[in-house]
Copies of this chain bind each other. A is one copy, B any other.
Amino acid sequence: MTSRLPETTIERLGKIYDLCRTTRLTGEVRLSSSRIGKSLGIPGHTVRKDINFLGEIGNTGYGYDLEKLEKHLAEALGFLNPRKACIVGLGRLGSALLEYRRFKPDNVLIEAGFDSSINRLETIVTPTPLFPAYEIPEVVRRKNIELALLAVPAKAAPEAAALLAEGGIKGIINFTPVTINPDPERILIRNINLANELRVLSSLLFLRDDEAS
Residues of A within 8 A of B (CB): 1-2, 4-5, 7, 10-11, 13-15, 17-18, 39-41, 77-79, 83, 85, 91-93, 95-97, 99-100, 102-103, 106, 108, 146-147, 170-171, 173, 177, 179, 181, 188, 190, 192-208, 210-211
Contacts and interface: CB of A to CB of B under 8 A. Distances in A.
Given A92-B96, A146-B205, 8 more contacts: A7-B200, A15-B177, A78-B203, A79-B203, A93-B100, A95-B96, A147-B202, A173-B201
B207 A14 contact: no
A202 B79 contact: yes
B206 A77 contact: yes
Contacts of A4: 207, 211
A83 B206 CA distance: 10
B204 A188 contact: yes
B198 A108 contact: yes
A202 B106 contact: yes
A202 B171 contact: yes
Q: Is the interface of A mostly helix, strand, loop or mixed?
A: helix
A18 B195 contact: yes
Contacts of A206: 77-78
Given A11-B200, A79-B199, A190-B197, A41 B179 contact: yes
A93 B10 CA distance: 26
B190 A200 contact: yes
Contacts of A188: 201, 204-205, 208
Contacts of A93: 93, 96, 100
A169 to B, nearest CB: 11
A75 to B, nearest CB: 10
Contacts of A106: 195, 198-199, 202
Contacts of A103: 195, 198
